[in-house]
Structure 1
Amino acid sequence: MAEIKERSCFIHVDVPGHEENSPDLPESYPFPSLQTLGEDLVTVLDFLRVRYAVGLGEGAGANVLARCGLAHPARLLGLVLVNCTASTSSVADAFRSRFSRWRGADISHSEEDFLIYHKFGHVSSLQEPLHYGYQQIPGEGERERTLSEYRSRLRGNLNPHNLKQYVRAFINRKDLVLRGCRPDLLLVTGTRSPYASVVEKMYRDLDKEKVTILKVDNAGDVLTEAPAKVAVSLLLFCQGQGLLTSLPPPGVERRMSRNISMEEYDTPNIRRLSLTPAPATAANTTP
């Protein structure tokens, strides 16, 4: 992602009350639905004076972003949706039964485990080493570190009172109809994600000229478990929108005849695109 980051501006958006160490939202505050969040997300672009963007959302955030793309298709060139859900699923039903017992000010162990399942997939696959035969899967230590950091955030930095309201909005979401969505879509999931089958069904129901799917084997949280594959797909997707075209395709080394700045390299070569014939030289001029 290094070269992509150098050429891009990432805008991270927190839903109300979900910035780190946020105070409790007032009881009188009606937490917005996912539809309202999606429709109002364009105000962030307006405030920052961003004319066009490519959206990247995960989980409930992907659902919100998809609704923004439907409501404001002229502002979003494309949408990268990680583990997006289009309708209420069995996962949400399971969440509802566990969430109904979540009444204290803190997140209990069972709710914490389910939030981890919601993000990473099967909890057991994160608590115990995974093996194919006798060979351990590479990156298991990194996976455990990521899981530990996520648990720490749940226990220390996120406001559980506000988090419950967001979860309730996610559970009570309305169906998301993406047929006819104007921005191009990249659907991303992993085989260990609880939403893998949901994402696959969404892909089957959509126009294949507008949607592409990336399904990563042996991954639940693809952003941390398979970042290289996601980065390559993100680059190709953006290049399909006419962005980041100066970056070489994966596996292709870029060669430049002289040292030029990044800004110069990204500037189109107008002379190369011109249809005007080159001027005649002494070598090819006839008397």
Structure 2
Amino acid sequence: MSSEDKDLTLHVVKTDACGEIQVFVQGDLEMAKKQERCTFLTVHDIGSNHTAIVEFTKHVSMQGITSRSVFLHVSIPGQEPGAQDLNPEARFPTMQALGESLVCVLDKLEIKYTLGLGVGAGSNIIARFGMKHPSRVLGTILIHPTSTTAGMVEHVRDQIINWKLDSVGHNPTAEQYLVFHKFGYQVEKAKDKTKAMAEYKNRLHDQVNPRNLKMYVEAFMNRTDISQRLASELVCDVLIITGSKSSFLHSVETMYTHCNPAKCSILRIDDVGDVIEEAPENASQSILLFCQGLGYLTSLGLCGNRSRSGSINTENNLKVSMQEYDKPNVKRLSLSARGENSDN
């Protein structure tokens, strides 16, 4: 484990459909088991791994949330830093298999309920998890999500990129595609985004095995359409976050229109391609408001998400500690209204 992960604990979870999944726990797992912490289950995008979401959780605007929460960061097989080549003869898991297998993470770590948080391809996986195991998911936060199959233009780009990743490893064409996927059409022309893109390219070279990345990209490109099932099967509260310059903006809007309008809300951030890189303050504030609507993190204010000490008064004028006030009120959620979904 790298120095960046020194405050994380690694757990290896065995699954039938996806083999071993590495999970990096950030925060006090024992408190999460007792439901005394808001617990997030995260899945990263293509071209990255769990470290990208860890960086977001460490941003100053996320400090309040992170200090009172536990994060279970899933690294998709073969995408973790320093990963060896996956067996080319073994079948890489589908997006559906990855989504369904996330319940094994909760079972292994003894977590009863969670909040799902996914980015890009990871948000598609989180959505599938929420649809398959509704009794385990209190809410989902989907950043730049898609619910449809890959379009023709996306397939053409993918065929070129996969060939180059497989034959010559990381290269300028592959990098440009992944930068486009992450930041959107116009961001590369903006001078103030140069540093962020350079850092992303360096991280791509340093941390992601190109041949394993090819397999994750292929799984994402071969995803099935879940749009028509969203309204009836994704029954938890849903927050969609996207940027106006996101490369998948149209797909995100399509997904939003297929969700249950009573359960789903969307935040569009202007002049942004990748919201967690370019607008972490906006993203963290919307995540906090979403969590508070579910009865989590109710002691935190919106001004910088700063941690506060001391105590506050409830509506019944009963003084409670901040730790007690931050406990989730799971009884308010209709978790028993729906069993596990047996359909794929």
Deviates more, 1:97-106 or 1:164-173: 97-106
Residue 59 of structure 1: how far off its partner (Å): 0.7
Task: Check if 1:225 corresponds to 2:275.
Answer: no
CA deviation map 1:181-218 (0-9, x unaligned) = 11111111101101111111221222211000010000
Match of 2:321 in 1: 264
Residue 97 of structure 1: how far off its partner (Å): 3.8
Q: TM-score, normalised by structure 2?
A: 0.68
Match of 1:73 in 2: 134
Residue 27 of structure 1: how far off its partner (Å): 2.2
Match of 1:179 in 2: 231
CA distance in 2, matches of 1:155, 1:253: 35
Match of 2:244 in 1: 191
Residue 160 of structure 1: how far off its partner (Å): 0.5
Larger Rg: 1
**Structure 2 counterparts to residues 79-228 of structure 1, below 5 A:** 79-90=140-151, 92-99=154-161, 101-102=163-164, 103-122=166-185, 124-129=186-191, 140=192, 143-176=193-226, 177-180=229-232, 181-228=234-281
CA pair 121-248 structure 1, distance change in 2 beyond 3 A: same
Q: TM-score, normalised by structure 1?
A: 0.81
Task: Check if 1:47 corresponds to 2:104.
Answer: no
**Structure 2 counterparts to residues 225-244 of structure 1, below 5 A:** 225-244=278-297
CA pair 192-18 structure 1, distance change in 2 beyond 3 A: same
CA distance in 2, matches of 1:93, 1:255: 49
CA pair 56-268 structure 1, distance change in 2 beyond 3 A: closer
Match of 2:72 in 1: 11
CA pair 257-87 structure 1, distance change in 2 beyond 3 A: closer
Match of 2:117 among 46, 51, 56: 56
CA pair 202-264 structure 1, distance change in 2 beyond 3 A: same
Residue 255 of structure 1: how far off its partner (Å): 8.7
Question: Secondary structure in 1 aligned to 2:235?
Answer: coil
One-letter identity of the residue aligned with 2:237:
D
CA pair 257-113 structure 1, distance change in 2 beyond 3 A: closer
| Native 8 Å contact 1:69 1:76 kept in 2 | yes
CA pair 201-22 structure 1, distance change in 2 beyond 3 A: same
CA distance in 1, matches of 2:134, 2:311: 40
CA distance in 1, matches of 2:325, 2:243: 37
Residue 258 of structure 1: how far off its partner (Å): 6.9
Match of 2:40 in 1: none
Residue 251 of structure 1: how far off its partner (Å): 8.2
Match of 1:22 among 83, 86, 89: 83
CA distance in 1, matches of 2:209, 2:104: 24
CA deviation map 1:107-128 (0-9, x unaligned) = 2211110011011112x52244
Deviates more, 1:185-194 or 1:81-90: 81-90
RMSD: 2.4
Segments of 5+ residues of structure 1 without an aligned counterpart are 130-139, 270-287
Question: Secondary structure in 1 aligned to 2:69?
Answer: coil
Residue 18 of structure 1: how far off its partner (Å): 0.6
CA pair 264-120 structure 1, distance change in 2 beyond 3 A: same
| Native 8 Å contact 1:42 1:72 kept in 2 | yes
User: What is the total number of aligned residue pairs between the two structures?
Assistant: 253
| Native 8 Å contact 2:63 2:305 kept in 1 | no
Residue 95 of structure 1: how far off its partner (Å): 2.7
Question: Secondary structure in 1 aligned to 2:215?
Answer: helix
CA pair 250-211 structure 1, distance change in 2 beyond 3 A: farther
| Native 8 Å contact 2:115 2:139 kept in 1 | yes
Match of 1:276 in 2: none
Question: Secondary structure in 1 aligned to 2:167?
Answer: coil
One-letter identity of the residue aligned with 1:165:
M
More strand per residue: 1 or 2?
Answer: 2
CA deviation map 1:109-158 (0-9, x unaligned) = 11110011011112x522442xxxxxxxxxx2xx3322112101222221
CA distance in 2, matches of 1:126, 1:5: 30
